[in-house]
């Protein structure tokens, strides 16, 4: 194993063979993406304890800027300091550290690719001990160890409005810092996903009770973000196809949410699925031969609405990506975990090179929440290698991954009390 720097990443100016994946895409707002491959959002955990982007985060995105992807979507950016998804999340709730975010955007865009900021609030899955008083649509705990030490406080109507304002403020600041677009995270069991779930949202007011009530917080967030960034900035939403939990968001209800989002004028809908209890986004409900994880749902959305679609999960081969885009099922294919190990994966796909071999995932334990967490940790470990100028590992054992996670968590312990 070598520790060479990542500067050998394929240059995106290299010639590509003819492929529909190289076609540009014009979004409803008028923004043009250079091609049909995007790096999907993955949590980097490379900010300071105060939530400020670090030089390592800049270096990671400078590497991905040369990846060949037409779009880079960041990982979780927190809209306030009341809750963190993980330690070392970046937080953009004021303009005090805007220059660090501008440097991040500049690093990601220096080869001409677009970069969008994914904005989020964890709600009841805020990680302890980094959040003292988690909040949620209803006072019910996440049924996964590590997230259920505190019963969340039920949000009042006034507090919901304040959080919607926070989403809009972060979106405005992101654009001011130089990010090209916004993605609102409404999947994977985070706050807006909790509002959509009948299992997590048992409210008896206008933000619950009915399917229309459960999607109200998301739609009001979309409207507030659009007003904050204007009509020419792309606004995207990341949405679960379903929660994969009995009593959670169903596919039928998710289709109604997708239709409402199209009516609200979003520019791109990214399709995913699952949450911490059932991490379908990590592939735990699929086997390798099944291909893209949520392609069936994408086809149903396409038949229902005309909003541009992005599909993420289980996409590995050029043949599959071309089939989905050329056939009209989706407009953009999202690549996430492969880019932790092969940062220029999109460029290789576009150049019709053989698909790079990826390391096998850690051996499953049979407990899906733990298996999902270990997979996330394995990829996050590679981000931290790239951030320090080293190449990703082709193989990292479970012991190595857990040791790295322990060091990161211990180093971040001071983030339990964040400065305001």
Average pLDDT over residues 176-180: 98
pLDDT band at 2 (very low <50, low <70, confident <90, very high): very low
**Under 8 Å between Cβ of 269 and 263:** no
In this prediction, residue 82 carries a pLDDT of 83
When divided into structural domains, the chain yields a total of: 1
pLDDT tens by residue, 57-90: 999 999 999 999 999 999 999 999 888 888 889 9
The closest alpha carbon to 229, from 277, 170, 187, 272, belongs to: 170
Q: Which DSSP string corresponds to 247-261?
A: TS--HHHHHHHHHHH
Query: Given a cut of 60, is residue 322 above it in pLDDT?
Result: yes
Indicate the pTM of the whole model. Answer: 0.87
**Under 8 Å between Cβ of 66 and 112:** no
338 lies in some domain: yes
195 lies in some domain: yes
* Helices and strands in the chain: count of H runs, count of E runs: 13, 13
In this prediction, residue 86 carries a pLDDT of 83
pLDDT tens by residue, 239-249: 998 766 567 78
In this prediction, residue 277 carries a pLDDT of 53
CA distance 102 to 98: 6
Q: How far is CA 118 from CA 143, 263, 271, 392, in A?
A: 25, 21, 14, 24
The highest-confidence range among 212-226, 338-352, 371-385, by mean pLDDT, is 212-226
The secondary structure element, H or E, covering residue 136 is: strand 135-136
Chain centroid to CA 134 = 21
82 lies in some domain: yes
The closest alpha carbon to 59, from 9, 1, 125, belongs to: 9
3-state secondary structure of 283: coil
In this prediction, residue 413 carries a pLDDT of 46
In this prediction, residue 175 carries a pLDDT of 98
1 lies in some domain: no
141 lies in some domain: yes
341 lies in some domain: yes
Average pLDDT over residues 188-198: 93
pLDDT above 70 covers a percentage of the chain that reads: 77
Mean pLDDT of the chain: 84
Domain with 254 in it: 6-416
Q: How far is CA 344 from CA 6, 77, 356, 404, in A?
A: 10, 24, 10, 24
CATH number of the domain enclosing 337: 3.20.20.70
With both helix axes pointing from N to C terminus, report the angle between 251-263 and 216-229 in degrees, rounded to the nearest 10. 30
CA distance 52 to 173: 14
pLDDT band at 167 (very low <50, low <70, confident <90, very high): very high
């Amino acid at each position: 194993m070598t520790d060479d720097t990542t500067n050998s990443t394929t240059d995106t100016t290299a010639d590509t063979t003819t492929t529909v994946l190289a076609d540009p895409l014009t979004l409803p707002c008028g923004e043009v993406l250079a091609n049909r491959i995007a790096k999907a959002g993955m949590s980097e955990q490379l900010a300071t304890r105060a939530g400020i982007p670090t030089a390592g985060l800049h270096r990671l995105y400078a590497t991905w800027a040369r990846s060949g992807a037409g779009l880079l979507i960041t990982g979780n950016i927190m809209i306030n300091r009341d809750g963190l998804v993980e330690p070392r999340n970046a937080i953009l709730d004021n303009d005090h550290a805007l220059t660090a975010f501008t440097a991040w955007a500049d690093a990601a865009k220096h080869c001409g690719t677009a970069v969008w900021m994914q904005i989020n609030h964890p709600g009841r899955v805020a990680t302890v001990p980094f959040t003292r008083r988690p909040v949620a649509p209803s006072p019910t705990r996440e049924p996964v160890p590590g997230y259920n030490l505190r019963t969340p406080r039920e949000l009042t109507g006034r507090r919901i409005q304040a959080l919607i304002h926070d989403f809009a403020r972060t979106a405005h600041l992101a654009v001011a810092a130089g990010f090209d677009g916004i993605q609102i995270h409404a999947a994977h069991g985070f706050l807006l996903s909790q509002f959509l779930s009948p299992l997590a949202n048992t409210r008896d007011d206008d933000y619950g009770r009915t399917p229309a009530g459960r999607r109200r917080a998301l739609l009001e967030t979309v409207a507030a973000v659009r007003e904050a960034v204007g009509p020419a900035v792309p606004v995207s939403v990341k949405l679960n196809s379903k929660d994969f939990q009995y009593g959670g968001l169903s596919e039928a209800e998710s289709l109604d949410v997708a239709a409402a989002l199209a009516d609200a004028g979003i520019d791109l809908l990214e399709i995913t699925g699952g949450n911490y209890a059932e991490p379908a986004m990590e592939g735990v409900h699929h086997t390798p031969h099944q291909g893209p994880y949520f392609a069936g749902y994408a086809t149903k959305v396409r038949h229902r609405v005309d909003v541009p679609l992005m599909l993420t999960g289980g996409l590995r081969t050029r043949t599959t990506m071309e089939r989905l885009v050329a056939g009209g099922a989706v407009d953009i294919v999202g690549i996430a975990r492969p880019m932790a190990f092969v940062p220029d994966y999109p460029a290789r796909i576009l150049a019709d090179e053989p698909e790079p071999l990826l390391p096998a995932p850690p051996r499953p334990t049979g407990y899906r929440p733990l298996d999902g967490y270990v997979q996330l940790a394995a990829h996050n470990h590679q981000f931290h290698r790239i951030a320090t100028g080293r190449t990703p590992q082709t193989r990292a054992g479970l012991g190595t991954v857990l040791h790295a996670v322990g060091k990161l968590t211990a180093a971040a312990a001071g983030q339990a009390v964040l400065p305001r």
